[in-house]
Amino acid sequence: MLGNDVWIGTESLIMSGIKIADGAIVGARSLVTKNIGAYEIWGGNPARLIKKRFSDEDIEKLLQIKWWDWSDDKIKQNLHLLRDSDVESLWESGKKYL
């Protein structure tokens, strides 16, 4: 199962039954044998956790606002925030849609 906003590098192999949570990244040519958490970066053969993309607090905020479910208009209005790494500003804008 793949979450939203997941990036999977070329020639990666995901084993059957593996869950890859929202915002995760899998490096190219990785062999994924374990579930991958939200906003984690994994790579290698076998794949291992390299790092988290954001702090645990920021990950929780991103999961709460679920920006990937927003309408096209909401995304366009907040595109400058989505392209930035400032999760707090995105959170402040996005929580009004909760």
Judged against a pLDDT cut of 90, whether residue 97 lies above it is answered with no
- Amino acid letter, 62: L
- pLDDT attached to residue 2: 97
pTM above 0.75, yes or no: yes
pLDDT per residue as tens digits for the range 12-37: 999 999 999 999 999 999 999 999 99
- pLDDT attached to residue 9: 98
Looking at the structure, tell me whether residues 37 and 62 fall in a common domain: no
- pLDDT attached to residue 98: 83
- pLDDT attached to residue 54: 97
pLDDT per residue as tens digits for the range 56-83: 999 999 999 999 999 999 999 999 999 9
Looking at the structure, tell me whether residues 11 and 47 fall in a common domain: yes
Question: What's the first-to-final CA gap in the chain, in angstroms?
Answer: 25
Closest by CA to 53, choosing from 93, 26, 18, is: 26
Domain that holds residue 73: 56-97
User: Is 2 inside a domain boundary?
Assistant: no
